[in-house]
Structure 1
Amino acid sequence: MDEIIFSFFLCDIVRLPFERNSTKVGVSRYIDTNGPECHKITVCKGINPHSIAGESGQRWHRTDHKDINWFRRGRVCQSCDHEFLTAELGEVFVSEFVELRDALAELKMNAEAYAKQSASAAKALSKLSDSLSVLRALKIYKKA
């Protein structure tokens, strides 16, 4: 049995067995974010992306990010008949996406901590302001 390497969308690369005598035509894949509704590693047949998205063409690019180009494919799961789109793009973008996702998670965590700390600081500043108001009312404060 030969092995073919496929990568999960946003996951680690895994090895899937290649079935030479399979009656199903297509590529074994599982894409959790928009793939088969059955959530299985299963055979998915290639179909025209136009039938799913209503837009023709397989070669796509971002006009606001000229370096991002991808090859769009339509798929249909042969287990659950769910139709979905996939995109082939350079691995450098997958690595960049993972790095940015990790950085965003850290920013979110820090933002939560800072929000809690700023609430405590706001209470302390309010108390300080009240104390300063009392001090300002004293004659000795005005002389200094």
Structure 2
Amino acid sequence: MAHSPTLGTLLRRLIDVLDGAVEESYADAGLDYRPRYTPIMRELLAQGPATIRALAKRSGVTHSATGQTVNQMAKHGLVTLTTGDDARERIVALTPHAEKLVPQLQQLWAATEAAARTLDDSLGLSLPEVIARTLKLLEEVPFSERLREASNPVFPQ
């Protein structure tokens, strides 16, 4: 008996499909660049050098994922890391190489936004709005709580 994909499977698949297409557009443009770099790049462009903690907070990406992404970006020559006032703190800044890529990246980001709007038009709704609303609802009532409530008949306490 075949099972329908679960929510988690569908969400992972959606991210794989979207990120794969965007990454392919970067490769087609001759860039060695990953979609996961974009939130960090945008924050550094908007605010200048920052700590990993500040980048995580402003971009909405977890501290751990931000640290991993920054390390990958450093290996690709896109950012530099220097020690902050606190020896445990690292300051992230764009390299001249990264700054040269910005005009091309901005064109690709605009194309990505335009493509996303065509998806929204085809769906008849705004996928980013649906996701943002879902996240807001999950802040109000976390999924773990919803799961406990749904499990009560199955696992009486």
Of Structure 1 and Structure 2, the greater strand share is in: 1
User: TM-score normalised to the size of structure 1?
Assistant: 0.32
The structure carrying a bigger helix percent of its residues is 2
Decide which structure has the larger Cα Rg and report it: 1
